[in-house]
Amino acid sequence: MSRRAIGITCWLLLYSILTLDPLEAQTADDQSALAKALENISRERLLSDISTLSGPEFNGRQAGSRDDLTTALWFQEQFQIAVQHPLDSHNRHSPSALPESTLTRSVRVSSIAVAPVVQIGTTPDNPANGLGSDYLPILDSPSIDLRAQIAFVGYGIADPASGFDEYNGIDVHNRIVLFLRGKPEHYAPLVSHADKVRTAKAKGAVGYLTATGPLLSAYEARRGMTGRPTALYGLTDDDMSLSGAWINTDIANRILTGHEPGPRPSLRELQETINRTLRPQSRMTDVDARLSWLTEQTSGTLYTLPITFPSTEADVGEDMIIIGAHRDHFGRQAGLLFPGADDNASGTAVLLEVARVLKQADVHLKRNILFLSFSGEEQGLLGSRLYVEQPLIPLKRTKAMINIDHVGVGNGRLTVGMTGFEKSVAAQAGQAAGLGDKLDLYGFFPGGDHVPFKEAGVPTVTVVSAGVHPQFHQSSDRVDTLDPEILVAATRYVLALTWQLAIAR
């Protein structure tokens, strides 16, 4: 072989070493250490943490309530036990026991104080009398007690500039409007639930009902949306707030078919026409609704807890990987406890288990790891937005944000959404975790505490268990509805991804 050929061969060998992907570049010792760490994941600890968080002690973990502080202190205590730095037990229930880096924000705490009434029509065959199954008030709705005629307004969108105005030609003054969640697939602009409420208020409506349409979008199907009412905050400004309730899809259909003689188009037919043509199908119904409940509102403090994983390396520098999960849920509403086992005691438990296993592995970091226990996710991502506004280190030093949310049920696969990363990064971590054939890889995953980081230019990875989540935002979201195998798989994946991004080789 010529000297030139030898030189080219050596250069190609050096180039191949320098450009190996992160998994291929791992040493045999590193691969062995990761394999051992994966074996140390405990389903018993995961389930125990979820059982505690979703149990009666924490009362549904509503952001801004006393339970918000209690769960923050519990999380810190469990974390410090995991890394062998226990708390002073005398201060367990004092805000001063939280680290100075804890981020706080004043928030509004809303509770439906008494069993509400949502009565549809006046005949026995068309009631809505099942709290949680037939109807549920929007959780920050103002108090109300009235009866009014129902007007159907499609998706509740008023956009004359684009030629799609579902309030054109219909007078909803002093009516209760009924609109579907989401938007037509071919309607490009973003529209939120709060946008729809503001529009209804501006048009003169005195209340509203909302429901999931029988035709699900691809995103709704992927999230496992059902026809049941779900817990939700309206998140409207005080001067534009309007009392409303989520109702079952079947009841919404009965409102539209009515009781008068003659055929009436079903909710499915109306939704299909709107989706296909982008032509409003708004109409008055012959059905009245009575809305009645009492809402209590107070102010409270939201706690977002950041804890840095202790590094044994003196020269790690300031680069950081964030692993986050929200611990808040909906509290106790109208006598119903919302345990929030899947959403998101499951993600919080994964957060703690990854910290435990990393401590057991005695790892050497090439980047700092910051564990973030968010509050206020259910109220518009308040905790994660607060951190992005007040980061512990400049966001440009944050190389990735991994968000874990409802990872306890589904079809046995994991949904992984990525921004700022190649999908190969997610795939490589899946291979290392033994889950290479159980990942569904996507780009941006809408909704969740990763969104403020993505908007700030931080690369993000979102981990959600794939398939239907039938208890999503339901009072039935209990620990006994979870699948331990899915929990373990999600933990394995987050651990492998963290190892790939933050562990020195």
Task: Give mean pLDDT in consecutive 10-residue pieces for the chain, a chain of 505 residues.
Answer: 38 31 53 90 97 96 95 94 61 68 93 89 62 93 95 98 96 98 93 95 97 87 81 82 94 85 85 96 95 94 90 68 97 94 98 95 88 96 97 94 97 96 93 95 92 97 93 95 98 97 76
Please calculate the CA angle 355-359-361 and round it to the nearest 5 degrees: 120
Q: Are strands 398-404 and 320-326 parallel, antiparallel or unpaired?
A: parallel
What pTM, to 2 d.p., does this model score?
0.88
| Residue among 496, 498, 365, 358 at smallest CA distance from 31 | 496
List all residues 6 or more positions away from 406 whose beta carbon is below 8 Å from its beta carbon: 342, 343, 344, 346, 347, 464, 465, 469, 472
Residue with tokens 């808040």: 328
Note whether 105 and 113 are within 8 A (CB): no
Residue 157 φ/ψ, nearest 5 degrees: -105, 130
pLDDT at 261: 56
Q: What is the C-alpha R_g of the chain?
A: 25
Give the start-end residues of each E strand in 88-180: 103-112, 117-120, 135-137, 144-152, 158-159, 164-165, 176-180
Where do the domains of the chain lie, and which CATH numbers do they carry? 28-108+301-502 (3.40.630.10), 115-293 (3.50.30.30)
pLDDT at 123: 52
Query: What does each C-alpha distance from 463 to 258, 346, 360 come to in angstroms?
Result: 43, 12, 23
SS3 400: strand
What is the identity of the amino acid at 370?
A: L
Residue 207 φ/ψ, nearest 5 degrees: 180, 175
CA distance 193 to 432: 40
Please calculate the CA angle 231-480-133 and round it to the nearest 5 degrees: 35
- Percent helix / strand / coil, the chain, rounded to 5: 35, 25, 40
Note whether 52 and 60 are within 8 A (CB): no
pLDDT at 236: 77
* Total residues found in the chain within this entry: 505
